[in-house]
Amino acid sequence: MLLLGITGSIMAFEPELDRLLHANLSYVTPVGRALSLAEIGESVNREFPGEPVVAFLPSTSTRFPTQVILSRGIVSVNQYSGEILGVRARGRSFLGFVRALHTRLALGDVGRNILRWSAVALMLSLASGLYLWWPAKPVRIRARWWSAGCVFDLHNAVGIWSLLPMLALAITGIVIGFEDQAAALIDKLTHASPARTDQILTRPSSQPGSTQITPDEAVAFATAQLPGAVPYRIQMPRFGGTYVVALENSRDRVTGERNSIGIDPWSGNVLTMNLSGGLTSRERLMAVNEAIHTGTIAGVPGRVIASLVSVVLPVQFLSGVMIWMRRRKNARLQR
């Protein structure tokens, strides 16, 4: 529980912290026209000859660089000059370790099982804490600071004021931990099919000797299908046979990133289309659950609340341990 609280408070602002920790790879100064994805790809190929581009991660702001995924890692590129800012190994970072701790204690399936039952224990702890709080109903700190009574009041006051958001984190965490079981239950209750199938619109064409369309043209064909959406990942046809353009609809905080369109690399025809509007009931409910857990359902204010509530968990843990140790000491003295 202590680790869940500490790592959860960090992950609430993972993108911002990542840019802070890697400032030299995270910011550019807009100067003139931004290069096309094809031109950026050429700059990367000159720097790393022989390494094919796996995917492009276009810049979502004029201040952020475009990123290019290679087998060696993620390359940050100044989209205005083509300058290579640096390379990062995928997942090998402080925040990557924090995420591994939060989701599986960095121990694989064993850690994941420990955490899923820790979420259950947290909910039971909140219920029993409410039961113990109810007779006296303390809601503020009355004792002198750093006294034994202060720790007791702190535990009770912080616990009751944060009860509902902590309960939301616990319940949504349980659903995430037991995702397979929750998905099966939702499918059973809604009488839905277990999974959404790709909406195949046409078959890919094969034109040996022809020139493939550029990633910029693939993006243009994809965004025409979903006006107003912003592309945030373009997977190259070498890895899967088609361009796959992932798009974000900023008007939808919950499922806005769950749009992908497959583009024929020869003709530019739309091959597959998976839009957030076509999500199954289970997929939509699971997305809402995750958005509540991370706070993204309410934007930046929601993420702030999620981070603060995550900080509360270590406070409750440590103050609870201090109360327990004091009571054990008093019990020994009374014998």
Q: 263-275: b or e for each residue (b if 16 or more CB lie within 10 Å)?
A: bbbbbbbbbbbbb
177-225: per-residue pLDDT in tens? Answer: 999 999 899 888 887 665 555 555 556 666 655 788 999 999 999 999 9
Q: Which two tokens stand for residue 65?
A: 């660089």
Q: How many CB atoms lie within 10 A of CB 132?
A: 11
* pLDDT of res. 141: 86
Backbone angles phi, psi at 253, to 5 degrees: -75, -25
> Any idea which fold 215-279 has?
Nuclear Transport Factor 2; Chain: A, (3.10.450)
- CB count within 10 Å of CB 163 equals 16
Our measurement of the distance from residue 330's CA atom to the centroid of its chain's CA atoms, rounded to an integer in Å, reads 45
Q: What is the pLDDT of residue 83?
A: 95
pTM of the model: 0.84
| Cβ within 8 Å of residue 12, ≥6 positions away | 294, 295, 303, 304, 306, 307, 310
**pLDDT tens, 247-299?**
999 888 899 999 999 999 998 999 999 999 888 889 999 999 999 999 999 99
| Domain residue spans of the chain | 23-92, 107-192+291-334, 215-279
Average pLDDT over residues 41-70: 94
